[in-house]
Structure 1
């Protein structure tokens, strides 16, 4: 049997064939397709050559379908429907949707930036589930592998940045937090008093010094660190009744100070305080996915209401904020 070379087939002919088999005449097919009769006649001739069959044959009441044409008609309908489905934009109906959304962020960031999301999800998409992965890790590798749909992070990828899109959810600066009885809770926060205090810091990755220690080293100073924690949630218990001082993003400090005997104070003015950015990240593979777009818009709009001055535009990573120096 001769093998058909698919590249030699003009798929537009199959649309004409569908109309011809439905109308069973050139005139009707031409009107349906908004083509000229000569153009449809030429297409019919090419189709007859392609299938080595007349396709339309004269009958008592005009034209009828050949045996080959009758065999082709249902197959053609299925094929054209399949092609239409392929090129039709995907749609998403939250009320009828099912599936799991995987989101990665730290515990406190989930509290600050995702509160209320589950309520909305249960109301609008009750068949969907939400998985929040709060264990610190390499979120960008997980995004690249398709293991998670979204990640919220103050960090930035160090590979293939063109794979990712991001939108700024919040920005803030560092603030000191300490127990209400700490001597630093009163008086001017001078660099000398700050350096003389005993400190703790949160290391999410468990590696390397805190950013403030790096700044102090450049200035020729070093502080005394007595506690290194892996979670922001532990900070109040470690400083409320001790002499420890922590420096954390102000948004986190404000939340941690609620209903606790804690005081927040600014850092000494001599210590650099670059703005801390928090981004919602996703991989390019999901950028146009309707379900993904719907869910990330929930997150973006919620945070736009909470922090209207900080939520930024939706941009590919390469077009986002400039890299910190």
Structure 2
């Protein structure tokens, strides 16, 4: 069978052909297509050349379909329907979707923000799956590579920011966290108290200098870091029975202090930064994806168009 050169075929003609074959009349087809009768006649001539067939044949009652046209009509309807679905905006039905929602975040960030999403999924999208990547590493690299759909973080992407979108999930401040038996547990630490203490900090990537250490350098100061961990959930264990301080987002600290074993104190005024925000990040490739928009609405409560 000879393979036609599709590049030479005007697909707009197929839309006209469908109406012509259904109406079997050039004038009525022109009216339905809101085209002039001569324009439809020219289109019919081009279609006859394309298919090497008369398609519409004059008869006593007007026009009949040629044998080729009889074969073409049902196939043509299927092709145009498929093209419409291909070009049209895809829909998303959470009730019937079996999509996997892949989120990269640290453990406690997931515990803070993802239960709301899971609760909605179990109520409205029972076949969908939530896949949480909480292992340490560069979560933004996973997002760039397409290995995850979302990142939840209080940090920003180190590169490729133009292709990454975000929306704020929560606004908080940084506080000190320590065991309830710590010498500073009953008083807000001064800058000297803070610098003189022993410290731990949580690092998402495990690399580089922390934001707090950069801030202290600006004051010409340096703290004694004893522990670097990639898990918020290890903080209570490291604080228990030690003199360690952790500087953590208050929204995280409140969660860790619920059992009364840890206490919070404000940072020294010299180190109190502007408000810290946690963001939901997603890549531009998924910006208009209906499933991605649905997840963003559940997590951030913002309608799709606002993204």
Fold match (TM-score > 0.5): yes
* Alignment CA distance shift 1:267-1:39 (3 Å): same
Residue 72 of structure 1 corresponds to 72
What is the match of residue 30 of structure 2?
30
User: 1:221–1:39: structure 2 CA closer, same or farther, 3 Å change rule?
Assistant: closer
Tell me the equivalent position of 1:17: 17
Which runs of 5 or more residues in structure 2 are unaligned? none
Task: Give CA-to-partner distance per residue, 1:84-130, whole Å, 9 cap, x none.
Answer: 11222111111111121111111100111122321210110111111
Aligned to 1:101: 101
CA distance, structure 1, for counterparts of residue 179 and residue 3 of structure 2: 82
- What do the CA deviations read for 1:49-71 (whole angstroms, capped 9, x no partner)? 33332211123433211222223
- Structure 2 CA distance for aligned equivalents of residues 49 and 199 of structure 1: 81
Paired residues in the alignment total 305
**Is residue 169–residue 279 contact of structure 2 (8 Å, CA) maintained in 1?**
yes
Taking structure 1 as reference, are residues 314 and 250 closer, same or farther at Cα in structure 2, changes over 3 Å only?
A: farther
SS at match of 2:95: helix
Taking the aligned partners of 1:127 and 1:61, their CA distance within structure 2 comes to 56
User: What's the offset of the Cα at 1:281?
Assistant: 0.8
Cα deviation, residue 287, structure 1: 1.0
Question: 2:112 maps to what in 1?
Answer: 112
Distance apart, 1:288 and its partner CA:
0.9
User: Which stretch of the first structure deviates more once superposed, 191-200 or 117-126?
Assistant: 191-200
Other-structure match for 1:279: 279
Matched with 2:218 is 218
- Equivalent position SS for 2:215: helix
Aligned ranges 1:69-148 → 2 under 5 Å:
69-148=69-148
Shift of 1:188: 4.8
- Normalised to the residue count of structure 1, the TM-score between the two structures is 0.85
Compute the displacement of 1:133 (Å). 0.9
Are the equivalent residues in 2 in contact too, given 1:216–1:222 (CA < 8 A)? Answer: yes
Shift of residue 274, structure 1, vs aligned partner: 4.0
Query: RMSD of aligned C-alpha atoms?
Result: 2.3
Q: In the aligned structure 2, how far is the partner of 1:168 from the partner of 1:188?
A: 29
Cα displacement string for residues 215-245 of structure 1 (whole angstroms, at most 9, x for unaligned residues) = 2233222223333333111212222432222
Corresponding residue number in structure 2 for 1:233: 233
Q: Determine if contact 1:170/1:277 at 8 Å carries over to the other structure.
A: yes
How far off is 1:25 after superposition? 1.6
Paired residues of 2:105 and 2:152 also in contact (CA < 8 A)? yes
The corresponding residue for 2:43 is: 43
Structure 2 CA distance for aligned equivalents of residues 181 and 194 of structure 1: 16
Instruction: Say whether the 8 Å CA contact 1:165–1:314 is kept in structure 2.
Output: no
State which drifts further: 134-143 or 118-127. 134-143
Post-superposition shift, 1:5? 4.2
What are the Cα deviations for residues 14-60 of structure 1, in whole angstroms up to 9, with x where unaligned?
21211111111223222322333333223222322333322111234
1:255 partner SS: helix
Aligned 8 A contact 1:154 1:277 in 2:
yes
